[in-house]
A and B are shown apart, each in its own frame.
Chain A
Amino acid sequence: MDHDPVVRNPGTDLDLDWVASVQINTSAVERRAATLPKRRSVKKQWQAAWLLRAITLIDLTTLSGDDTPSNVKRLCAKARRPVRPDLLRALGAEDLGITTGAVCVYHAMVKHAVAALEGTNIPVAAVSTGFPSGLTPLAQRLAEIRASVQDGAKEIDIVISRHLALQHDWQGLYDEIKACREACGEAHMKTILATGELGSLRNVGRASLVAMMAGSDFIKTSTGKESVNATPAVGLVMCRAIRAYEARTGHRVGFKPAGGIRKAKEALLWLALMKEELGDRYLEPDLFRFGASSLLSDIERQLEHHVTGRYAAYHHQPMS
């Protein structure tokens, strides 16, 4: 899966005409989002394989006020061994080297996660920049990014200033995201749009473009803290923005839906959405991630069901 490597998106100048030309028809987008899962169905070994793939795309996440080194360590252990070995053997998947895509934590937990993942290729992602509201002073947010990178984070999930998007201050938004990207240095930057707080799909489409022009490596739907998180309609709009950006600039940008994705079935829908809208290349961890915490347990249960034919219990899966 290491073919055709992704060259990091260098960003472009802010093209306000392009931003203004974005048209999103909400009803039509919702119709597509509603029918897509009915058009694609993945069963039997195809489903098992797709779910294994989904695991490799998970940013296994804990973002709680009560996070401590111990539960972060437990999370990292799960990231290394996300599926019971007996299930992997039964699936013939023990040689696939399945781990989650990353572990995602608050800045304060980055060094503990880095330590717990030593010896693996699993990157640590940090939500920096005054997560989740992003309303701390910019200088402070940039300092937080540098601190997270300093502590060993390979990926930085930033949040945008929603007020800039809501006021259509695209220049302001562009400048902030660009500054964050500079602060990230070699670390890959995922830009959280907090779509549930952007007011409309049209605004989501426009903010997606600005985020990519400013050099985001990924665009991400939500913090998981908004009342509406990753909906398929939002996913469609963002994926189509990614497609348009690639078509015009040649740069690839990844996508990360996050928040509220808990069921294996939802993961299959997101995979189908990526496959249909962006193609198979976007089913790989360098271009697609799920932000999720409880999704993995449900996937494990479905895998067990595939192997045994019996419906599985949560407590049979080792917790994270």
Chain B
Amino acid sequence: MSNEPQTPQKANGKSARAKTKEPAPKAPTVAEIFKSMEYGPAPESDAAAFAWLDARERRIDHFIAGRFQPPSEGAYFDTHAPARGDHLAKVAQGSQADVDAAVGAAESALAGWQALGPHGRARYIYALARHIQKHSRLFAVLESLDNGKPIRESRDIDVPLVARHFYHHAGWAQLIEEELPDRAPIGVVGQIIPWNFPLLMMAWKIAPALAAGNTVVLKPAEYTPLSAARFAQACADVGLPPGVVNIVQGDGKTGAAIVDHPSVKKIAFTGSTGVGRIIRKATAGTGKKLSLELGGKSPFIVFDDADLDSVVEGVVDAIWFNQGQVCCAGSRILAQEDIAEDLLKRLRQRMEKLRVGDSLDKAIDIGAIVAPVQLEQIDKLVKLGEEEGATLWQPSWSCPKEGLFYPPTLLSDVEPSSTVAQEEIFGPVVVFMTFRTHAEAIKLANNTRYGLAASIWSENLNLALEVAPKVLAGTIWINCTNVFDAAAGFGGYRESGYGREGGREGLHEYLQPRWLAEAKHQDTPAAATAALTPTAPADGSPGIDRTAKLYIGGKQKRPDGGYSFVVPDAQGRPLGEVGLGNRKDIRDAVEAAHASRGWATGTAHLRAQVLYYLAENLEAQRDYLMGRLVQMLGREEAAEAELSRSVQRLFTYAAYADKYDGQVHATPLRNVTLAMHEPVGVMGIVCPDDHPLLAFVSTVAPAIAMGNTTVVIPSERYPLAATDFYQVVDTSDVPGGVLNIVTGYRKDLSKVLAGHDDVSHLWHFGPASESQELEALSIGNMKRTWCNHGPARDWTRKEQGQGRDFLREATHVKNIWVPYGE
């Protein structure tokens, strides 16, 4: 089965491109085509796009304060059409001064934009949606020229999704006060987007930011500046107030200037995990809110009862969509052994039929790779894959010689130990592995540092819906792949980043609690460390020693180091002794927490029962605990309040355990899109130095209510409240390992947790001065962090000390798309 050889097909729109070409080969006659039945060129006109570029003299400037502005330092770089090599335009290189100007414009626009109110903002966002729809083809052609993606995709997928995103968020702007009444905007938001979906990623960033009442400074990728510039014109055309959206063109240096700018309160980034790490490090300790959508190596799991022909089309959509330059590309096929050969055969047959060519040809499947350096990287990784034993298969036809093309590629005989099974290739290359059982499929699927998406193919919904929650990824597509919508959140687990884009869950990335926005910024007081001295031998006749031990895996453990320290009471007198934990104790605690992950798969009702039981037993220990709390706090009323509130808080989270449930999103496909709240996994919790029992309970209870297992570093000052609590835990049916307590020097222990690559999330309520180091250390596995940057939380107040903010931080939102129809 052979395809006709493919030649580069030039769009024949009346473009202003001045480029001499070899004389075109003689076109075949009708009679010849009647016999050959070959495809011919089907060019989309590029005339309007080049007219637009020519009208601006092929120069793309920044868009700051509502006007196109040349770069302050006068520097430009060039952008090319990857499918043709043509020069498209010169593009402003953003300098520090340009970024300063853009951030300044955004700051000035903030008050006016917020004063417009929900409906005022909704009207502008709605106008942007309409504008995009009215000029949809120009957007699509510019996008395909600049990026190299097939016009079919920009026309039928990207641009409609862009319009849909603005429509959807015009609605959020309208409803925000009713739907999210205790939330406030963040301020000036810095956004840095990639080159693979320039327009779509821009919409995903800008629409929710504006809906939530923020103003924006956005930097497009340097390979693909055009569509953002066209969007800037849309902002001007609809009369968006100057400064609400600012677009600064440029490279990584420009992006860094945005990230580092002190007036930028939030950074949203989509791109590589490598750059994501740099941004996490750069923003560590600054208190900037951060959402990162990073790389992926998403599994594409095929069970033996799947519709294999539809699976093949699924693979086409998974890895040959946008040349495979998709962060959530289904790049790892995991096929059940008994159908693996059959599937491979069908795939190869299908690949013969794929067509590669000019991005503006309406009859191609795969366009051009965005830049030479990307093409080289793909080639390098494929060669490495072959060296490591993979079997390479590419179709018999060859790609056009001109332009940056790479053929669809299938690597089979790949094992998890192969580089190509682990590294993101970001090209039209899929690797193929097999599995025996669904349990093995899940294991292989999760054998990756990433967790962006997964696709599951089976006609058995029992099976598919068992696997979906067990694959660690933010989006699961059942019997489909690469479907997106503004109403559904998208984002990663693990090193694919954090935060969601789209839906209610995505909106939270651009909001903060109102109390936080209105609070004065002051630091959490640091612990008094004077008492942390190793135990001195006691004078006189010893009583029966009752040194609190660490609590790991449901058992009391002596600290590995063999040291203890004295804990003072409210008057500074020795109240008791606790173990001085070290890094090995943290290691053991994390392992114990992993061993008890079954906690997550139990029912929410069961977790509620356990939390109620904790409350019950806390109450039963009232007399003993009151005595201890009075010693710690010095005042009886304070102790009484502390205990009562702690019991209430346990009730609160027992109540929430089965009520913080997900959503079914209204996405415009025949499917149910299930937004499930899943536990994050193993969480590290660093307790604050106030409210010995209440703060401990307030942080631990939401985490375990949602099904997480925890490693808790109690307050240095009040570790005895935590160690007293484990006696309650022991009698309350909490499975060993769900709650692990390591007492000791908070600063040292929390660094071990932050640097532990098998901890998924770190909550830190210590002093802000410590969060810089912790956030910087989190990049090992790109764990989520929730650190104290602002005002100290008042744990006695409901809006600060409990509620959905805690639950949101204790969960991931996983969107599972389940199409139906017989």
Same complex: yes
Q: How far apart sit A63 and B610, CA to CA, in the bound complex (Å)?
A: 74
Candidate in A24, A25, A44 with the most chain B CB atoms within 10 angstroms: A25
Q: Which of A87-95, A119-127, A139-147 contacts B (4 or more CB under 8 A)?
A: A87-95
Residue B289, interface by CB 8 Å: no
Q: Is the interface of B mostly helix, strand, loop or mixed?
A: loop
Residues of B within 8 A of A26 (CB): 821-822
Q: Does A67 contact B (CB under 8 A)?
A: no
User: Are B363 and A41 in contact (CB-based, < 8 A)?
Assistant: yes
Q: B310 to A43, Cβ gap below 8 A?
A: no
Q: Which residues of A contact B16 (CB under 8 A)?
A: none
CB-defined contacts of B34 to chain A, threshold 8 Å? 49, 52-53, 93, 96
User: Is A283 in contact with B37, judged by CB distance below 8 angstroms?
Assistant: yes
Contacts A49-B33, A49-B34, A202-B822; A42 near B313 (Cβ below 8 A):
no
> Nearest chain B CB to A56's CB is how many angstroms away?
9
Of B1, B30, B40, which one neighbours A279 at CB under 8 angstroms? B1
Interface flag for A168 (CB, 8 Å):
no
**B44: nearest chain-A partner, CB-CB:** A41
In the complex, whether A38 has a CB less than 8 A from a CB of chain B is: yes
Closest Cβ of chain B: how far from A241's Cβ, in Å?
9
B583 within 8 A of A: no
Within 8 A of B (CB), among A68-104: 91-93, 95-96
For the complex, is B479 an interface residue (Cβ under 8 Å from A)?
Answer: yes
Chain B residues whose C-beta falls within 8 Å of the C-beta of A40 in the assembled complex: 39, 363
Q: Are B309 and A240 in contact (CB under 8 A)?
A: yes
Count how many chain A residues have C-beta atoms less than 8 Å from C-beta atoms of the other chain: 43
Tell me whether B241 is interfacial, beta carbon within 8 Å. no
For B353, the chain A residues whose CB sits under 8 A away are 276
Q: Once the chains are docked, how many angstroms separate the CA of A96 from the CA of B31?
A: 7
* Candidates B30, B37, B152, B821; contact of A275 at CB < 8 Å: B37
Cβ–Cβ < 8 Å partners of A48 in chain B = 30, 33
Contact check, B30 vs A45: say whether CB atoms are below 8 A apart: yes
Give the contacting residue for B670; candidates A27, A202, A279; CB below 8 A.
A27
A50 contacts the other chain (CB 8 A): yes
Q: Are B39's CB and A46's CB within 8 A? A: yes
Closest-CB distance, A3 to chain B (whole angstroms): 11
B459–A49 touching, CB < 8 Å: no
Residue of A whose beta carbon sits closest to that of B669: A27
Q: Does A175 contact B (CB under 8 A)?
A: no
Distance, CA A276 to CA B352, complexed state (A): 10
Cα–Cα distance between A240 and B33 once the two chains are bound (Å)? 26
Q: Are B37 and A50 in contact (CB under 8 A)?
A: yes
Given known contacts A27-B820, A28-B307, A279-B1, is B29 in contact with A38 (CB within 8 Å)?
Answer: no
Closest to A49 in B: B33
Whether B416 is near chain A, meaning CB under 8 Å from some CB there, is: no
B42–A43 touching, CB < 8 Å? yes
A171 CB–B CB distance under 8 Å: no
- Residue pair A92, B29 in contact (C-beta under 8 Å): yes
Q: B40, A38: Cβ atoms under 8 Å?
A: no
* Contact size range, B: 35 or more
* In-complex Cβ contact of A28 among B1, B27, B152, B479 (8 A): B479
Interface membership of chain B positions 585-599, coded 1 if the CB is closer than 8 angstroms to chain A and 0 otherwise:
000000000000000
Does A315 make an interface contact (CB < 8 A)? no
- Asked if B37 and A53 make an inter-chain contact with CB atoms under 8 angstroms apart, the answer reads yes
On chain A, the residues within 8 Å of B32 by CB distance are 49
Residues of B within 8 A of A32 (CB): 310, 313
Chain A CB within 8 A of B133 CB = no
Task: Give the most central of A28, A202, A240: most B CB within 10 Å.
Answer: A28
Asked whether B182 is an interface residue with its Cβ less than 8 Å from the other chain, the reply is no
Q: How far is the CB of B255 from chain A (nearest CB, A)?
A: 35
Question: Please, which residues of chain A bring their CB within 8 A of the CB of B365?
Answer: 39
Chain B residues contacting A279 (CB-CB under 8 Å) are: 1
Please measure, in the bound complex, the distance between the C-alpha atom of A50 and the C-alpha atom of B28, giving whole angstroms: 13
Most buried by B among A29, A49, A276: A49
A197 interfacial contact with B, CB 8 Å: no
Would you list which residues of chain A between 149 and 191 have a CB under 8 Å from chain B? none
Indicate whether A7 reaches chain B with its CB closer than 8 angstroms: no
Chain A residues near B440 (CB-CB < 8 A)? none
Report if A200 contacts B (CB, 8 A): yes
| Nearest B residue to A52, CB-CB | B34
The answer to whether A45 touches B305, judged by C-beta atoms less than 8 angstroms apart, is: no
A280: chain B residues within 8 A (beta carbon): 37
Per the bound structure, the CA–CA distance linking A231 and B118 in Å amounts to 46
Alpha-carbon distance between A240 and B39 when the two chains are bound, in angstroms: 22
Contact with A along B110-144 (1 / 0, CB 8 A): 00000000000000000000000000000000000
Residues A42 and B40 in contact, CB atoms below 8 Å apart: yes
Chain B positions within 8 Å of A53 at CB level:
34, 37
Within 8 A of B (CB), among A187-241: 200-202, 236, 240
The distance from the CB of B508 to the nearest CB of chain A, in whole angstroms, is 30
A287 vs chain B, min Cβ distance (A):
13
On whether the beta carbons of B30 and A23 are closer than 8 Å, the reply is: no
Residue of A nearest to B306 (CB): A23
Q: Which residue of B lies closest to A280 (CB)?
A: B37
A41 near B42 with CB under 8 A, answer yes
Q: Mark B655-679, 1 if CB is under 8 A from A, else 0.
A: 0000000000000001100000000
Q: Binary interface profile of B, 686-720, with partner A (CB < 8 Å = 1, else 0)?
A: 00000000000000000000000000000000000
Task: Please give the distance in Å from B480's CB to the nearest CB on chain A.
Answer: 7
Best-buried of B306, B307, B314, B670 by chain A (most CB within 10 Å): B307
Question: Which one of B1, B31, B37 lies within 8 Å of A92 (CB-CB)?
Answer: B31
Q: Is A298 an interface residue (CB 8 A)?
A: no
Q: Report the minimum CB–CB distance from A84 to chain B (whole Å).
A: 15
In the bound complex, residues from chain A placing their C-beta under 8 Å from that of B459 are 23, 25
B402 at interface by CB-CB < 8 Å: no
Residues of chain B in range 537-567 having any CB-CB distance to chain A below 8 Å: none
Chain A CB within 8 A of B156 CB: yes
CB of B310 within 8 A of CB of A95, answer no
B470 → A minimal CB distance (Å): 22
| Cβ–Cβ < 8 Å partners of A43 in chain B | 40-42
CA distance A204 to B16 in the complex (A): 52
Q: Please, how many angstroms separate the alpha-carbon atoms of A196 and B1 in the complex?
A: 32
Interchain nearest-CB distance for A102 vs B (Å): 19
Could you say which of B33, B671, B820 contacts A45, with CB atoms under 8 Å apart?
A: B33
**B33 pairs with A50, CB closer than 8 A:** yes
Residues of A within 8 A of B305 (CB): 23
- B313 in complex: contacting residue of A24, A28, A38, A200, CB < 8 Å: A28
Alpha-carbon distance A261/B32, docked complex (angstroms): 26
Residues of A within 8 A of B27 (CB): 45
Q: Which residues of A contact B29 (CB under 8 A)?
A: 45, 92
Q: How far is the CB of B61 from chain A (nearest CB, A)?
A: 35
Taking the complex as formed, is B10 at the interface, i.e. its CB lies under 8 A from any CB of chain A? no
B35 lies within 8 A of chain A by Cβ: yes
B38 part of interface (Cβ distance < 8 Å): yes
Q: Tell which of B28, B152, B480 touches A39, judged by Cβ atoms closer than 8 Å.
A: B152
Partner of A27, one of B33, B42, B309, B479: B479
Flag whether B13 is at the interface (Cβ < 8 A): no
Inter-chain contacts of A31 with B (CB < 8 A): 313, 480
Q: In angstroms, how far is the closest chain B Cβ from the Cβ of A205?
A: 9
Closest-by-CB residue of B relative to A278 is: B1
A23 to B33, CA, bound (A): 37
* Proximity bits, A278-319, B CB within 8 Å = 1, else 0: 011001000000000000000000000000000000000000
Binding site for A on B (CB under 8 A): 1, 27-35, 37-42, 152, 156, 305-310, 313-314, 353, 362-363, 365, 459, 479-480, 670-671, 819-822
Q: List 8 A-B contacts (CB under 8 A).
A: A25-B459, A27-B480, A29-B307, A30-B821, A40-B363, A45-B30, A46-B38, A279-B1
* Contacts from A to B (Cβ < 8 Å): 1, 23-32, 35, 38-46, 48-50, 52-53, 91-93, 95-96, 200-202, 236, 240, 243, 271, 275-276, 279-280, 283
Given known contacts A27-B821, A49-B37, A52-B30, what 11 new A-B pairs fall within 8 Å (CB)? A23-B308, A25-B307, A28-B314, A29-B307, A43-B40, A45-B27, A45-B28, A45-B29, A46-B40, A48-B30, A92-B31
Which 8 residue pairs across A and B have the least CB separation, nearest first?
A49-B33, A46-B40, A28-B310, A27-B819, A41-B42, A25-B307, A41-B362, A23-B307
